Amino acid sequence: MNRPVVALTVGDAAGIGPEIVLRLLAEAGPLPARVLVLGDGRALERDAGLVPGAPRLPRAEDAAAFGRGGLPFALDAVSDDRARVLRPEGPAPHGRVDVGAGRASHEAVLRAADLALEGAVDAIVTGPIHKEAWGLAGVLEPGHTEVLARRAGAPRVLMLLTGGGLRVALATIHVPLARVPSLLTAQGLLADLTLLDAGLREGFGFDRPRIAVCGLNPHAGEGGRFGSEDAEVVAPAVAAARARGIDAVGPLPADAALPRAAEGEFDAVLAMYHDQGLPALKTLAPRRAVNVTLGLPFVRTSVDHGTAFDRAGRGTSTAASLHAALWAAVEVASKRASSRAGPRSPSTRPGA
């Protein structure tokens, strides 16, 4: 793949999104891609004073012109003009939930998805949005993953986070813990394992990825003493996946599966719920984890943190996760393109 074009959404203008975008562009050195920044340009201009050496972003009339021009980065004028309509009084104040900021950040995500679907960009990297602001703006979906899936018409997607030598996928995402058992089905877990296996092959270069599947209950149910879901739902899904040639093992207690994956025994872990798998990964990769969405027709990565309203406007935020997300997007896009171009020659198993 030639030097790719990546659409980078700024996220909520009231948070640290504008600062970390500018910090990435000012501090990261040579970038692995041409970056098309989508968001409220006024917020970027406002926060430029927070970042020494912050670049002045040249405008591109459209994504096609940007790609031909080969600029190192640009601000999509269409999204900028749209932000003025969505919030005519200017960028949202730092640290406040703002309906206009929610509308503008949602608009940028939709624009990025459309560019990817049109083939104008090779990947999307998303900055942090504020879910409450999205809700106030009338967005029905709870987050990026669901919005992108709907825009792309993807029947099923899977959130995969990487960092610290771990890759953790989530069978359920932003739902109350009390609802998790009712949402888990053998058919759904089989679909997740199929997506995860394909995503690891195409985007990460594994020939036959080894996947650990966490149990729902402590000790993976302990033979039914701590719940029946592991024997009745998780185990049948693993058996069905193995019958399809997927190298899945489980259900395993989460406190065993994650350490074993961190030691290299498994290439990825399928956790049953959000806070089962992510604390371990974020402990191993503080501020450097990356979110990858599997199942979309395009590559999408994201930072692993939120808008950090308490630090917005102070000039103290780090772009470490955004840096990792950009590099991951380029790597996954490159491997995905190579995988779809034809069969690979025999290779050794990639490292963690």
Least confidently predicted of 33-37, 64-68, 246-250:
64-68
As a three-state string, the secondary structure of the chain is CCCCEEEEECCCCCCCHHHHHHHHHHHCCCCCCEEEEECCHHHHHHHHHHCCCCCCCCEECCHHHHHHHCCCEEEEHHHHHHHHHHCCCCCCCCCCCCHHHHHHHHHHHHHHHHHHHHCCCCEEEECCCCHHHHHHCCCCCCCHHHHHHHHHCCCCCEEEEEECCEEEEECCCCCCHHHHHHHCCHHHHHHHHHHHHHHHHHHHCCCCCEEEEECCCHHHHHHHCCCCHHHHHHHHHHHHHHHCCCEEEEEECHHHHHHHHHCCCCCEEEECCHHHHHHHHHHHCCCCCEEEEECCCCEEEEECCCCCCCCCCCCCCCCHHHHHHHHHHHHHHHHHHHHHHCCCCCCCCCCC
Q: How far apart are CA 74 and CA 58, in angstroms?
A: 5
Residues in the chain: 352
CB–CB of 340/299 below 8 Å? no
Residue 258 corresponds to which amino acid? L
CATH number of 159-286: 3.40.718.10
Q: Tell whether the model's pLDDT for residue 228 goes beyond 50.
A: yes
pLDDT at 4 over 80: yes
Top-ranked range on mean pLDDT: pick from 74-88, 218-232, 249-263, 332-346: 249-263
- List the one residue out of 121, 211, 116, 221 whose CA is nearest residue 160: 211
Contacts for 343 with CB less than 8 Å, ≥ 6 apart: none
Residues 153-181 have pLDDT tens digits of: 999 999 999 999 999 999 998 889 999 99
For the chain, residues classed under CATH 3.40.718.10 are 1-154+296-352, 159-286
Threshold 0.85, pTM exceeds: yes
Predicted local confidence at residue 352, as pLDDT: 35
Q: How far is the C-alpha of 59 from the C-alpha of 235, rounded, in Å? A: 53
Average pLDDT, the chain: 89
Per-residue pLDDT tens for 307-323? 999 999 999 999 999 99
> Amino acid letter at 183?
L
Task: Determine the pLDDT at residue 347.
Answer: 37
Residue 345: band (very low, low, confident or very high) from pLDDT cuts 50, 70, 90: very low
What would the mean pLDDT of 331-345 be, rounded to a whole number? 75
Q: Which CATH class is domain 1-154+296-352?
A: alpha beta
What is the band of 57 on the pLDDT scale with cuts at 50, 70, 90?
confident
Structure tokens of 299?
């590559």
Question: Stretch 66-82: mean pLDDT, rounded?
Answer: 60
Q: In sequence order, which residues have a C-beta less than 8 Å from that of residue 24 and are 6 or more positions away? A: 319, 322, 323, 326
Check pLDDT > 90 for residue 208.
Answer: yes
pLDDT digits (tens, 9 = 90+) for 260-272: 999 999 999 999 9
**pLDDT for the residue 343:** 54
The confidence score (pLDDT) of residue 221 equals 80
